[in-house]
Chains A and B, each alone.
Chain A
Amino acid sequence: DAKTTQPTSMDCAEGRAANLPCNHSTISGNEYVYWYRQIHSQGPQYIIHGLKNNETNEMASLIITEDRKSSTLILPHATLRDTAVYYCIVRVAPRYGQNFVFGPGTRLSVLP
């Protein structure tokens, strides 16, 4: 069963911020939000994850709403190399299992 809803595709101009939304209205208290991306023909790559608080790393920022029913992945300065399919995944912490379920994701096209 899909736990997340994402737009099928998005465009973003190179150099601008890319904001990728994800809806997870049925998220439970012990479930984390993960983001992965898959560049054409490669294996998926981990980007970031979070539980309640906003998170930032060298790749992106993750903004989770206070009610945790949705989140946004932000790529602050998108480049052509960021063109990929982005997956938002909701799952419990590792000590409860390791089942990552990938939905169809959002196909982000960064345009020159």
Chain B
Amino acid sequence: DAGVIQSPRHEVTEMGQEVTLRCKPISGHDYLFWYRQTMMRGLELLIYFNNNVPIDDSGMPEDRFSAKMPNASFSTLKIQPSEPRDSAVYFCASSLTTSGGDTGELFFGEGSRLTVL
């Protein structure tokens, strides 16, 4: 299996520009998570989906952030307009829940490092 695939791996942009980060979860997984990691705040859960439906977006910092999951194999995290404080590594993760079981294991992608100048 190819694992969780994120793109781009690195993005440098200027303040005010739109940024779109992409994620392809592991095939068959029914949960998808977006996390953000900074030195100051560590790993923060932004939003997660179950069967393509957003379940909890309380971690999304503000209206400039939006996430979509149009199908089971693709998700985007968009920042518009971007600001320097959005600079971070953004991780996507997916997991599979089996009925009656507790796998719960998150598989993380390699992350997208965003720098907003």
Residues of A within 8 A of B (CB): 32, 34, 36, 38, 41-46, 49, 51, 87, 91, 93-95, 97-105
Asked if B45 CB lies within 8 Å of chain A CBs, one says yes
Name the segment of B12-20, B68-76, B78-86, B102-110 touching the other chain: B102-110
Chain A residue with minimal CB distance to B95? Answer: A98
| Pairs A–B under 8 Å by Cβ, sample size 11 | A32-B102, A32-B104, A38-B43, A41-B111, A43-B109, A43-B110, A91-B104, A98-B48, A100-B33, A100-B45, A102-B35
Main secondary structure of the interface of B (DSSP, over half): strand
Q: For the complex, give the distance between the alpha carbons of A42 and B91 in Å.
A: 9
User: Is B104 a contact partner of A95 (Cβ separation < 8 A)?
Assistant: no
Which of A32, A34, A41, A103 is close to B42, meaning CB atoms less than 8 Å apart? A103
Residues of B within 8 A of A (CB): 4, 31, 33, 35, 42-43, 45, 48, 50, 55-56, 91, 93, 95, 97, 101-111
Pick the most buried of B4, B35, B102: most chain A CB atoms within 10 A of its CB. Answer: B102
For A41, what are the chain B residues with a Cβ–Cβ distance below 8 Å?
A: 111
19 more A-B residue pairs beyond the given contacts A41-B111, A43-B4, A98-B55, with a C-beta to C-beta distance below 8 A: A38-B43, A42-B110, A43-B110, A44-B91, A44-B93, A44-B106, A44-B108, A93-B102, A94-B101, A97-B55, A97-B56, A98-B31, A98-B33, A98-B95, A99-B56, A100-B106, A101-B45, A103-B42, A105-B42
